[in-house]
Amino acid sequence: MTWAKGEALAPFFTPYLVAGWMRGSHNGPLMPVGLKDSRCSFFDGPPRVIALGFQLADGRLVGPVDLFEDVAFDHARRVALQMAEYMRRNGPIAPAILGPEELEYTGIAETLKALESRFRAAE
């Protein structure tokens, strides 16, 4: 199967929520960025993805070309940043935080375990 470059990149025009923000403990919008913008800063995110393209010419790889540096992805980046701001404004709770079975690198699971005896079912 042969894909055109645009067909392969089309899914990244929508910033889907993915796990992996904030040391792997939060959901965040996957933001397509150029290589120069791949460093994360805002709460270690939002999660970013880069795309480097190569062309095969006469049996040799030519490139790379920074595919997400294109202005065509500016809207997706703006939407991802708006989503990230909204998620962070909700605080460190759902829907931003992952479920306890998926949490990494935090003390939340251990804290909840220690407090388990204090919880009671709703009446």
Per-residue pLDDT averaged across 79-89, rounded?
92
Closest CA relative to residue 66, chosen from 98, 100, 38: 38
pLDDT digits (tens, 9 = 90+) for 2-19: 778 889 999 999 999 998
Q: Which two tokens stand for residue 4?
A: 């055109």
- Tell whether omega for the bond before 95 is within 30 degrees of 0, i.e. cis: yes
What are the residues whose beta carbons fall under 8 Å from the beta carbon of 15, sequence distance 6 or more?
Answer: 29, 30, 31, 32, 46, 76, 77, 79, 80, 83
pLDDT digits (tens, 9 = 90+) for 30-50: 999 999 999 887 777 789 999
At residue 102, does pLDDT exceed 80? no
73 within 8 A of 66, measured Cβ to Cβ = no
Cross-strand pairs, 28: 18
Query: pTM to 2 decimals?
Result: 0.77
Residue 21: φ, ψ to 5°: -85, 155
Per-residue pLDDT averaged across 47-69, rounded?
94
52 within 8 A of 65, measured Cβ to Cβ = yes
Output 93 or 64, whichever has higher pLDDT.
64
